[in-house]
Chains A and B, each alone.
Chain A
Amino acid sequence: MGISLYEKVFNRHVVRKDNDTYLLYIDRHLVHEVTSPQAFEGLRLANREIWRKNSILAVPDHNVPTTDRTVEIEDPVSKIQVETLDKNCEEFNLLQFKMNDQRQGIVHVVGPEQGSTLPGMTIVCGDSHTSTHGAFGAIAMGIGTSEVEHVLATQCLIVNKFKTMRISVNGKLQFGVTAKDIALAAIGRIGTAGGTGHAIEFSGTSIESLSMEGRMTLCNMAIEAGSRVGLIGVDKKTIEYIKDKPLAPKGVLWEEAKKDWLNLVSDKDVIFDSEVEIDGNLIEPQVTWGTSPEMVSSITSKIPNPGDCKDKTLSSSYQIALKYMDLKPNTPINEISIDKVFIGSCTNSRIEDLRAAASIVGTKRIAKNIKLALVVPGSGLVKLQAESEGLDKVFKNAGFEWREPGCSMCLAMNADKLGPGERCASTSNRNFEGRQGQGGRTHLVSPQMAAAAAIYGKFVDIRELN
């Protein structure tokens, strides 16, 4: 029997095995300002060294302002956290793209963009959306701060092997249906705990047709299906994306690497612990209506009625969610009007996302009822690229604000947030209560759907704009 991609990569990294517990070697460690200070402090207190400095890439993203960076961070607590990362990177002599470095951005956008994410790697970061990097045929997973400290000190992680799940999506995606819609549709199907304890591999013709950006969007959302690891086999697109990236191997090493990487796919005869099949032809643009990513419908549907749920816990979750979201059962999704729009986050802030959103905006203007529409590129380099293509003008002319890169209103740790009761069309990944600001109401959508919502002031079926 063959083995899966997850197991292939896993097996390469096993340092030791004791019963079901493995000591796994880690190739790349990404670090940001929120989950690392206590880990560095732990090292200092125990008088420990960093095992392999050249495995580390650090970048501040959660707290950074998206407005003028030449002035200091206004919030003193955010400022301390960003400065603490600076201090730690200086003291331990680590590579960091500081706040004003053009390469700064959201850690999961920056890593692949620099070629620091490579196939076959084990990649960790104190951030649950590390699953993003699995798009390159790597095992990438979010870890807690204790584990950040563990990896800093030992270059290893103590883990159990996950079970494997394959989500196959086959068929031609309709106009306006994106990786984000695949992700939301999959979560709607298996639920936010559906992938718990599993590494999810995405495969099938719909997945193959996605660009690397799209694949990253999909793997990014694996954690919203409960899975720490999402991954996709390597193909020509993967290799093409990595080629010539600053940290990618060059010359002879590149040739050798390429040969190895093309083997990083699941064997044909592998048996997964669980299988899910989705018809790619039938996926419609998705919109979440509740406070968990699994509370999702297609644009042509209505908000469900909690009274129709057989399960008591589910029915009460729906009720709590609808109350928080101030929505009535049976409301058609395309009648929900919104106050704010956020295009950004590690899910959807890459150049392809901005191009797609801009193509919907065209020469139109945002609707009168929209109080704020933000576009926050994922990195300084994405921002530059977008500007060189004139996308910033498209957005600005339409009434969007064009900001500096960072996490921004994905979790509202900086100044960008929703006010109580405000309703937002957001390209981020979590619609939890208060996620984008206390009392704020989040609807997760693709960049195209967010752009269209900005133009029409409510959710619309972008397939009709074709």
Chain B
Amino acid sequence: MNPFNIHKGIVIPLDRANVDTDAIIPKQFLKSIKKTGFGVNLFDEWRYLDHGEPGQDNSIRKINPNFVLNMPRYKDGSILIARENFGCGSSREHAPWALLDFGIKVVIAPSFADIFYGNCFKNGILPITLDKIIMDQIFKKVEDKIGYEITVNLQKQKIYYDLEIVSFEVDSFKKSCLLDGLDDIGLTLKNKIDIKNFEKEYHESFPWLNSGENLK
């Protein structure tokens, strides 16, 4: 995972609440066994007018000119803003993979669904929760100015837009993993002995939970 610290980029406004992971990346694309290549199908059903299937040549598909990702003014955007409960629904990590593959580095919304929120951090995307009133302000600014850019500083936990600065909250562990681009499996495995000891004691206390020896 790439480390994340400061990012400046064009803002793409997705003015919808409850954007679910089925919408972010429809199920037919989940059949891939890779982590890459999902970007062209990000928001597939909103972005194209025809039905998409994996492996298709997307350059010849009919695009929906009214969908934000297709509007020239948001070309090369890398910061997505949306409304409440972004990323609800399925746990599919294909959703952050698709956002990342498309070039999105930051998603800002008044609230996120839990699984999606966690999945973003694992993939070097920073999800930021901001107050609804500030979100309204940013939506307005994006509408008013073509190519509107903002800067996000994770270390300082601040967003800079025009002359304004707003702080955001982030869990300290998630923050440090993202700042350093850390592989958290490696980190957990540093506690190997703790886990082994715990496991032994645990199975002595609750032996019936290990009767799954009849598994494998």
User: Are A128 and B115 touching (Cβ within 8 A)?
Assistant: yes
Out of A27, A77, A160, A192, which one reaches B171, CB within 8 Å?
A160
Residues of B within 8 A of A (CB): 15-18, 20, 22-23, 26-28, 30-35, 45, 51, 54-55, 83-85, 88-93, 96, 111-115, 118-119, 122-123, 171-173, 183-185, 188-189, 191, 194-195, 198-199, 202, 206-216
Residues of chain A lying within 8 A (CB to CB) of residue B198: 15, 25
B162 to chain A, nearest CB (A): 24
| A435 with B22: CB separation less than 8 A | yes
- Which A residues are CB-close (under 8 A) to B93? 35, 38, 126, 144-146
Instruction: Count contacts on A: residues with CB < 8 A to the other chain.
Output: 90
Provide a sorted-by-A list of 28 A–B residue pairs whose CB atoms are within 8 angstroms.
Answer: A15-B194, A19-B173, A38-B35, A46-B185, A48-B185, A54-B216, A57-B215, A63-B31, A126-B93, A142-B91, A143-B91, A146-B93, A155-B199, A156-B195, A158-B173, A196-B113, A226-B88, A226-B113, A228-B115, A248-B211, A313-B17, A313-B83, A411-B22, A413-B28, A433-B23, A434-B23, A434-B45, A435-B22
In the complex the two chains form, is A38's CB within 8 Å of B17's CB? no
**Contact for A249 among B88, B89, B211, CB less than 8 A:** B211
Given A21-B171, A153-B189, A192-B85, answer yes or no on A53-B216 (Cβ-Cβ < 8 Å): yes
How far is the CB of B45 from the nearest CB of chain A, in Å? 5
Give the 10 A-B residue pairs with the shortest CB-CB distance, closest first: A146-B122, A37-B33, A249-B208, A257-B208, A144-B119, A144-B93, A145-B93, A77-B31, A193-B85, A142-B91
Q: Does A331 contact B (CB under 8 A)?
A: no
Whether A279 sits at the interface, judged by CB under 8 Å, is no
Binding site for B on A (CB under 8 A): 12-13, 15-16, 18-21, 23, 25, 27-28, 34-35, 37-38, 41, 46, 48, 51-57, 62-63, 75, 77-78, 80-81, 84, 93-95, 116, 118, 120-121, 126-128, 142-147, 149-150, 153-156, 158, 160, 192-193, 196-197, 226-228, 246-250, 253-254, 256-257, 260, 292, 313-314, 316-317, 320, 411-413, 430, 432-435, 438
Minimum CB distance partner of B117 in chain A: A196
- Residues of B contacting A438 in the complex (Cβ-Cβ under 8 angstroms): 26, 45, 51
Docked complex Cα distance between A324 and B18 (Å): 15
Q: Which of B91, B173, B199 contacts A144 (CB 8 A)?
A: B91
Instruction: Say whether, besides A25-B198, A434-B23, A77 and B54 are in contact (CB < 8 Å).
Output: yes
Q: A127-B90, A196-B114, A411-B90 are in contact. List 9 more A-B contacts (CB 8 A).
A: A15-B198, A20-B173, A77-B55, A145-B93, A156-B188, A158-B173, A432-B89, A434-B45, A438-B51
A contact residues around B216 at 8 Å (CB): 53-54, 56, 93-95
User: Which of A120, A196, A250 has the most chain B CB within a 10 Å cutoff?
Assistant: A196
Q: How far is the CB of B172 from chain A (nearest CB, A)?
A: 6
- Given contacts A25-B199, A54-B212, A256-B208, are A146 and B119 in contact (CB under 8 A)? yes
Q: Which residues of B contact A412 (CB under 8 A)?
A: 27
CB–CB B212/A317 < 8 A = no
When the two chains form their complex, are residues B111 and A433 in contact, meaning their CB atoms are under 8 A apart?
no
- Shortest CB–CB separation between residue A261 and chain B, in angstroms? 9
- Contact call A116/B215, Cβ cutoff below 8 A: yes
Query: A residues within 8 A CB of B88?
Result: 192-193, 226, 292
Q: What residues of chain A lie closer than 8 Å to B17, measured between beta carbons?
A: 313-314, 317
Contact B172 A254 (CB under 8 A): no
Task: Give, as a whole number of angstroms, the nearest-CB distance from B101 to chain A.
Answer: 13
Q: Which of B115, B206, B209 has the most CB of A within 10 A?
A: B209
* A64: min CB distance to chain B, Å: 12
Q: Which of A51, A56, A433 contacts B215 (CB 8 A)?
A: A56
Task: State in angstroms the CA–CA spacing of A307 and B189 once bound together.
Answer: 55
Q: How far is the CB of B120 from chain A (nearest CB, A)?
A: 9
- CA separation between A21 and B184, bound complex, in Å? 13
